[in-house]
Chains A and B, each alone.
Chain A
Amino acid sequence: MRRRELIVAGAAILAGGLTACVPTASANGRGGDSVLTISTWTAKEPGLKDWWPQLIAGFEAEHGGVTVRLREIAYADYQQQITTQLMAGAAPDVVHVPTPTTTLPVWAEAGFLLDMDDFLAGTDILGSWPSTQKVMAWGGRNYGVLLVDYGYVMFYNEAVLAAAGVSVPETPEELLLAAQRVAALSGDVKPFAIAADNSANFIRDALVFTTGMDAQWASDGKWAFSDPGVVKALDLWRTLGRDYAPQGTDIAQKREAFLTGNVAMMIEGPFYQATVKKTASASLVDSLQIAKTPFAISPGDVSHGFSVPQGLDATKEALALDFVKFATSMPMMEAYSQLVGSPVTRPGAAAALLDDEQRAVMANVAENMTPIIDPSMEGLRLHYFDFTQIAGTSFHKLLMGTDDTGTILAELQSELEKAGITP
């Protein structure tokens, strides 16, 4: 082969290789063809791994010629990757939004998401969804539909509580008493567990107590961490976390401690019950139960929802909105609740949970829950990371320091004001 032929051949190989690397319109679903892409981190999660195929098959059956492609992204990378894709205009046609309390404001504020008010006006969502749907709104406009919200539940080890001579606590005072009684037992079982790492779960576990004990840590657009009710609630959390819980546990270690019988009580999301029932040892599984949290108010949280990015062509946008409508329809939400074994946002869709005593607890607390972060706290939601950094420092002081709770919380309030973060 001559030199010239070699160079031509090399160039042809290069051109071919580069062409193969460039996605075509038909491959990525842009340009008005019939491929709809959806991103999620839940494709292989228990229950959801069965729900997604059912949802996709149902949608494809209703929309002849449409193919739905599910893009799975690991949860740890999800927010980062979707943000990058949204920025580059290469996001999926339907975006699964995790923890919308903090994620949705950033994406909506950046102009990445489609205003869905007109679409929602033609559905029953705004009329029938609970007030938690507000978490999918930003600046008074709706940028998505909430799929799942839940109330936290109390996980307890029945055998340990029985050995300690206490019943399942129903008030904060009973919770402290139960912790004291379990601590008095011989053996290594710790009474309670909290997440005490540097993540948002740490903050969440503390705020469960303030919401549950009806303590308002923000009011009239100002922080109120010095409020006596807040001090009382966080003092209880401090006492339990410092004196009755294993130290420095992240969320995985906290759950593991309960699962293995090393901890008698913890407050967690209800979805963890499926893991408990599936993976706890045979000698423990019957003892590991759930109940309503020992508070007058059921603290809760929002889990995830669906949004549609801006900039899709009209056909694709209509298809994406159709998909959201189909996914949040009663049959699909009922299927979700049954397959995942958790409550959903659509009212009445989790009725099947009431047949089971334990699942009924989940359904009841979800229906009556108050979110630990009110969706109207827009300043906090937009600067949540900085809030968690400042609050985390103070909460670590509560667990490891000696200053009284009121002093530490007054400092926290002052630090937040100094940083210019408003609720």
Chain B
Amino acid sequence: MSITERQNKYDVAHTPGNSKAQPVRRRKMRKANSPWIGVALMAPTMLWVGGTLVFAVVLLLSLSLRDVGLGPLDKVLAAPLSLVNYAEVLTNADTWRSFGISVVYVAGSTAIPFAIGLGTALLLNQKMPGQRLLRTLVLVPWAVPGVTATIAFMWMMAPTYGVVNYILRTLGIISTDINWFADDSLALLAVIAPTSWKAFPFFTLMLLAGLQSVGKEQYEAASMDGAGKLLKFRYVTLPALSPFIFISVIFNMMYAFREFDFIYASTRGGPAGATETIAVRIYNQAFERFDLGSAAALGILTFALIGAVVFFLVRKKFKGSLEGVL
């Protein structure tokens, strides 16, 4: 049966007043649209994913409420409930220091790749030879595993043999080698570098999608009003990109806040705790100091904090469109 014949048959069946064909088709459609089929098909995945997620969060919450050290889980969970871990975490100056480091790390790991990503997106939005190839190449850092990128950056930023110091030496910018990962005033910047390199393609991708949704007529109208490139960017491009910027910044901030690979593989939170973000501190508390209770408490607090911040921001940004949802 050709496509035209199929279409004709469908049209006949859906013609109002065609009492012969319509009930059969409706019955089939009703069956196909039954919500139960969707639920049945989704149930295994939803149960598995939901179950493992809920179980992990409940277990974490339970651990955070037990004032016991490392030990068999059944004994730990048999201990009485207590808020000692939360009190300890919240009154520990190192927690707040780690929080401050996290804020700087998140800000740096978002602002830098955002700027690079915006520039790359604007560039790739122009018609040029090899555009498709460039668009593919720009995504490569995103596909590189975190640890691989970290090792590459550690070699590039090695004080004596690294290419970064070599370039700075050759250009006459430095006279002695910079010890990027061992100098506590530079280590945070050193770990922001690979994070930014890996994150900028995400911004490129999101902002490029945004740029392509801006109609040409808007730029033409702006031109007729006498707007130059800068004004067009300010009053046409940026407002159109606003939701894309918002979503990508939120996603990247959440990703950066829980980032662990780059920092742990390069500095382990050192030197002198200069790169111990909340994520690294949670790991160090759990698997270096073996204080699982306070690690769990810190994890729960972080979870709640991120959830609250995202909820607040999303609600504020999409207040009109999400009415009734939030």
Q: Which A residues have a C-beta under 8 Å from some C-beta of B? A: 3, 6-7, 9-11, 13-14, 17-18, 79-80, 83, 86-89, 106, 109-112, 190, 196-199, 246-250, 253, 257, 262, 310-311, 385-386, 389, 392-393, 396, 399-400
Contacts and interface: CB of A to CB of B under 8 A. Distances in A.
B71 A253 contact: no
A386 B290 CA distance: 11
B88 to A, nearest CB: 15
Contacts of A199: 268
Contacts of B158: 246, 248-249, 253
Contacts, number: 115
B160 A110 contact: no
Given A198-B268, A248-B160, A106 B290 contact: yes
Contacts of A253: 154-155, 158, 161
B287 A396 contact: no
Nearest to B273: A389
Q: Give 7 closest A-B pairs by Cβ, nearest first.
A: A198-B270, A246-B160, A10-B40, A247-B159, A248-B159, A385-B288, A110-B70
A17 B44 contact: yes
Interface in B29-56: 34, 36-37, 40-41, 43-44, 47-48
Q: How large is the interface on B (under 10, 10 to 19, 20 to 34, 35 or more residues)?
A: 35 or more
Most B Cβ at <10 Å: residue of A80, A197, A249: A197
Interface in B260-287: 267-273, 284, 287
Contact of A393 (B48, B183, B271, B290): B271
Given A110-B69, A110-B71, A198-B270, 16 more contacts: A6-B36, A79-B287, A86-B72, A87-B70, A109-B70, A197-B181, A247-B160, A248-B158, A248-B177, A248-B182, A385-B288, A392-B270, A393-B271, A393-B272, A396-B271, A396-B272
A289 to B, nearest CB: 23
A14 B75 CA distance: 32
The interface centre, meaning the residue of B177, B182, B289 with most chain A CB atoms within 10 A of its CB, is: B182
B36 A247 contact: no
B199 to A, nearest CB: 23
Contacts of B268: 198-199
B95 interface: no
A150 to B, nearest CB: 25
B73 interface: yes
B179 A198 contact: no
